[in-house]
Structure 1
Amino acid sequence: MNGTALRLGSLLLLATLLAAWEVASRFLGLSALVLPAPSLVAKSLWNGLASGYFWPHIRATATELVLGLATGCVIGFAAGVAMAESRLLRGLLMPYVVVSQVVPKLALMPLFIVWFGFGMTSTVVITALICFFPLMENTLTALQQVPAERLELFRMLGATRTQTLWRLKLPSGLPGILAGLRVAVVLALVGAVVGEFIAAGKGLGALVIASQGTMDTPLMFAVLVLIAVLGMLVYQATVVLERWLLLPYTRVS
C-alpha cells in the first residue's frame, strides 16, 4: 500500500472508532461524567475555541513547550558532544546525569516551585530537564559509533579533532541525534503538561485539573484532544526538520 492509501485507512479507522464510541455512549446509557460521547466532546471543543477560552491556555503550553525543548536540547546536545569528546568529562558527569534522570520529575516539582516560583519558569525547567537526557544520550552514543576505519582515514589525512568532529562524527551521527530529538519532543510535551498540573494557573495541563475539579468530563476530553493535536504538530515539524537536514546525505547515497 502507498502512503496515501495508508493515511486514508488510518482516517477510516479513526472514523470507525469514533462512530462506535458514539453509538455505545448513546445506546448503553453511559453518563457523560464517566465517558462523554464524541459529539459532546466536539461541542465542548468548538465552544472553547470559538469563544477564545482555549487560546490563552494553548499559547501558554506552546510557549513552555518551545522554551523547555530548546533549552533542554541545546544543553543536552552540548553535553553529549562534550562527553563524547572527553573521557574525563564522561567519567565525571555521567553518574550525576543518570541520577538527575532516575529521580521522578514530579517529586522535584515542589522544589522547583520554591526555587523558581509558581508559574511558567518552573514548568520550563522541568520540561528542559525531561527532554535533556534523550538528546544527550543519543548524541553521545551516535558520536561514539563512528566506524573506526573512517576515524583512521581522518587521522591519516591530518585532520584536527575539531575537523573530525564537524566533518565526520556529526554528519555520521546525525540520524541518531535526530532520533533523540524526536523522543525529546514527545517527552517535552509530557513535561510541560505535568508541570502545569502543579505549578501553573494557565495552560492545557492546568485546564485539565480545572475541568476535573468542576467534574466537566467533556471539557477534559476536549483539552486532551488539544494536547494531542499540539503534540502531533510539533512532532511533524521535527520530522520535516529531520528530512531537511538529512536530504543532502540522501542525495549522495
Structure 2
Amino acid sequence: MNRAPVYSLVLFVALLLGWELAARQMSELVLPAPSVVAATLFDGIRTGYFWPHIVRTSLEVLLGLGLGSGLGLIVGILMGEIEFLRNLFFPYVVASQAVPKLALAPLFILWFGFGMTSKVVITALICFFPLLENTVTAIQYTDRNKLELFRVLGATRWQTLIHLKLPAGLPHIFAGFRVAVVLAVVGAVVGEFIGASEGLGAMIIASQGMMDTPLMFSVLLLLTLLGMALYQIVHFFEKRLAKPYEKETRK
C-alpha cells in the first residue's frame, strides 16, 4: 500500500497548523493566518471580485502557452531533423533565453501596448525554449536500431518522423510541456506586474499598494491553484499518450 499521499496530507495539515500558530504571534500585515487568507479568498470568489482577474490571467496563460509551445514544437522538429538549421539558429535561441524576461517586459509593453498582446508574447517567449530543447533532444536521440529498421523497410524521412521519432520522443516532449505550463503562469504574471489594470498579477501590485497582505496571499494561492491545475491536465494527457512509449524506451 502506497502511504505517500497520506503522509503528504499529514505534512500539509502540519504546515497549516504551524503557519496558523506563527501568524498569531505577528501582525496581519506581516503574515496573515491561513484562516484569514481563506476567508478573503472565499469572499472574493463569492462576490465575483476575483473572477474577471482569474479569466484574464487564465486566457493570457493559455494563449501564450499555445503560441510558445506550438512554435517550440515546430521549430524543435525542424532543428532536430535538419542539422544545418540546428547549427545556424541554436546559438541565437540560447542567447535569447539568456536575457531575463523581466528586463524585456517593459520593451514588449512599449511595442505591443498595455493590453493582452504584450502579456501573451512574454508568456510565449518563456514557454518556447522548454519545448524547443526537449523536442530537439527527442528527435536526435531516437533509438539507432529502430532507425536502421525503418531504413531497411524503405521508410521515407517523413514516415520515420511521424511513425518513429515523434511517438518515441513523446516522453521528452511532454516533460518540456510540463515545464512550459508552470513557466506560462510566471510569464503572464510578470507581464501584468509591469503594466496591467486587470489580472491576478495586477491584483498583487494593487494589494501591495493598499498594504492588504491577506488579499496578496489569496491571489498567490489562486495562481498556485491555476498552475497546479494546468500541470495536472498535462500530466493526465501524458499518462495516456506518452507512457506506453516511455515503457518501450526503458526496454
* TM superposition score normalised by structure 1: 0.95
2:247 equivalent to 1:246: no
Confirm whether residue 50 of structure 1 aligns to residue 46 of structure 2.
yes
- The Cα RMSD (Å) is 1.5
Partners of 1:100 and 1:115 in 2: CA distance: 17
Write the letter of the residue equivalent to 1:124: V
User: What CA distance in whole angstroms lies between the structure 2 residues aligned with 1:48 and 1:14?
Assistant: 24
Post-superposition Cα deviations, 1:26-52, rounded to whole Å, max 9, x if no partner, equal 2x2x00111111111111111111111
Residue 22 of structure 2 corresponds to which residue in structure 1?
A: 24
| Residue matched to 1:177 | 173
How far has the Cα of 1:115 moved from its partner?
1.2
What residue number does 2:216 align with?
Answer: 220
Q: Is this contact kept in 2: 1:49–1:55, CA < 8 A?
A: yes
Per-residue deviation, 1:201: 1.2
Q: Runs (4+) of structure 1 moved beyond 6 Å?
A: 250-253
Q: Are 2:189 and 1:193 aligned? A: yes
Letter in 2 for 1:57: H
Deviation at 1:247, TM superposition (A): 5.3
- Percentage of matched positions with identical amino acids: 61
User: Does the CA-based 8 Å contact 2:135-2:169 persist in structure 1?
Assistant: yes
Q: Deviations over 1:72-128 (max 9, x none)?
A: 010000000000111111111112111110011111111111211002110000000
What TM-score do the two structures reach when normalised by structure 2? 0.95
Which residue pairs with 1:66 in the alignment? 62
**What CA deviation, in whole Å up to 9, does each residue of 1:161-194 have, x standing for no partner?**
0001011111111111110100111111111111
> What 5-or-longer segments of structure 2 have no aligned partner?
none
Aligned residues: 249
1:75 matches 2:61: no
The answer for unaligned runs of 5 or more in structure 1 is none
Task: Give the alignment of 1:146-185 within 5 angstroms.
Answer: 146-185=142-181
Question: What is the letter of the counterpart of residue 78 of structure 1?
Answer: I
Task: After TM superposition, give the deviation of residue 14 of structure 1 in Å.
Answer: 1.1
The amino acid that maps onto 1:190 is V
Q: Are the counterparts in 2 of residues 122 and 199 from structure 1 also a CA contact under 8 Å?
A: no
